[in-house]
Structure 1
Amino acid sequence: MTPLTLVIGNKNYSSWSMRPWLVLRQAGIPFEEVRIPLYRPESAALLTTWSPSGKVPALRDGGIRVWDSLAICEYLNERFPEQGLWPADAAARAVARSVSAEMHAGFGALREHMSMNIRARYPGQGRTPECLADIERILAIWTECRARFGGGGDFLFGRFGIADAMVAPVVPHLQAYGVALEGAARDYANAMLALPALQAWVAVAETERIEKFERDE
């Protein structure tokens, strides 16, 4: 059987690419990785050969193409139902889908002022009122999900799943910008940082620089 192919961007910066990559890697689903460095003269042409939107990530499964992080994760859930990527309980599953959609559609201030840069450290930067409000909401999600549904493991709904993958990039965001965490939010962030799939992503994050995503340290 031909393995899935996941097309991603620069691991140091592309939080959207990270999400389905973590799902595949942590679930042990075989896949081939195609990395297209972004913001180069040839990037757009390369991207359009894989993704109708011209953006990453994109998944190819034989003749099927799926683009957009959350759509890919939903497809993987349908393709590999035995992996339990959404919670089995209907109430928990509804919350997990809502959290994932909120993460997908919201938190623009965090993305703008605390963009992902795994290898950099910017303590104290980016803390606009809007960004701090985004962080407060995200930490509330983590704390509530852990309290209501997390009894079966270390993640939002016990075992690692799509909801964790959707919020995962926030953890290196907060680490890079020196945001202190407490209580359940701290414990959850530590569990994510210890996740083998996340550690594998961080270990090979590019050392190249894209100047538009860099700031003075």
Structure 2
Amino acid sequence: MTYQLYIGDRTFSSWSLRGWLMLEKFGLPYQAHMVGLYAGTMHADLAHLVPARTVPVLQTAQGHVVTDSMAMAETLAENHPDIALYPRDPAARALARSMTAEMHSGFGALRNACPMMLSFAWEGFAPSDAVKDDLRRIEELWALARQRHGHDGPWLFGDYSLADVFYAPVAMRITAYDLPVSDHSRAYVAAHLSDPAFLKWRKEAMKEDHSPFPYALPLAQKPWPGEES
């Protein structure tokens, strides 16, 4: 069963990163196809995948089109019950699903003020009170998951799960905008930054060329962590 995955620009498309991690991290067979999210060709690139209008898009081996990241997650969990995409423990699974859903539908202030960007980090970004409120809630959820279920590994529930997939772009936002979070949260962010799958994604992202650069800010730039001279 080989999936067809349609993604946008790796540098900026947080939802594409989520869709890709769902397949890459759990060893599911797939072929990735680039969609012109910033080149203006997305509508034409997705025309054969009705009703898709945004990325990522998943097409199953049977030709079924799944157009939303949450729907993709549930489809993959349903198709692969032998793989622990969500934690096996019922209590952990309930919390993981709740956290995943909250990420999918919430944290609008963080999303709007801090678009995902993997090229470098900004220096001197000042988060609004609304962004700080989103960060506080995210940190509460991360701490709860780690306290209850995450003692046996670096991830929210010990082993990597769909909850980590959905919060991966948050880790990238914290990094790119140097957002104020606790040392415990920074340790979790560091796990994402050093994850081989993410490093593979970012390596491809750095090959992209964007001119003009989306989401430019009147701030100084500093190297991405690990790339300091």
Q: Give the TM-score category using the shorter length.
A: over 0.9
SS in 1 for 2:58: strand
Per-residue CA deviation, residues 154-206 of structure 1 (Å, 9 max, x unaligned), is 11111001010001101111111112443321221111212211111111114
> What corresponds to 1:50 in structure 2?
49
Whether contact under 8 Å (2:154, 2:191) holds in the other structure is yes
Whether contact under 8 Å (2:156, 2:163) holds in the other structure is yes
C-alpha separation in 1, matches of 2:152 and 2:10: 30
Moved more, 3-12 or 32-41: 32-41
Matches within 5 A, 1:55-134: 55-62=54-61, 63-125=63-125, 127-134=127-134
Whether contact under 8 Å (2:35, 2:41) holds in the other structure is no
Whether contact under 8 Å (1:6, 1:58) holds in the other structure is yes
Whether contact under 8 Å (1:8, 1:57) holds in the other structure is yes
C-alpha separation in 2, matches of 1:41 and 1:176: 25
Q: Report the Cα offset of residue 104 of structure 1.
A: 0.3
Provide the aligned C-alpha RMSD in A: 1.6
Q: 1:177 to 1:157 in 2, by over 3 A?
A: same
TM-score (norm 2): 0.88
C-alpha separation in 1, matches of 2:124 and 2:48: 40
Q: Report the Cα offset of residue 214 of structure 1.
A: 2.5
**Which structure 1 residue ranges, 5 or more long, are not aligned?**
none
Q: 1:36 to 1:144 in 2, by over 3 A?
A: same
1:208 aligns with 2:214: no
Q: Matched residues, percent identical?
A: 37
Q: Report the Cα offset of residue 39 of structure 1.
A: 3.1
C-alpha separation in 2, matches of 1:92 and 1:40: 41
Whether contact under 8 Å (1:113, 1:126) holds in the other structure is no
SS in 2 for 1:59: strand
Q: Report the Cα offset of residue 135 of structure 1.
A: 1.1
C-alpha separation in 2, matches of 1:96 and 1:158: 12
Structure (1 or 2) with the greater helix fraction: 1
C-alpha separation in 1, matches of 2:67 and 2:214: 24
Q: 1:216 to 1:72 in 2, by over 3 A?
A: same
C-alpha separation in 2, matches of 1:79 and 1:189: 29
C-alpha separation in 2, matches of 1:216 and 1:37: 26
Q: 1:177 to 1:22 in 2, by over 3 A?
A: same
Whether contact under 8 Å (1:124, 1:179) holds in the other structure is no
Whether contact under 8 Å (1:145, 1:156) holds in the other structure is yes
C-alpha separation in 2, matches of 1:17 and 1:42: 16
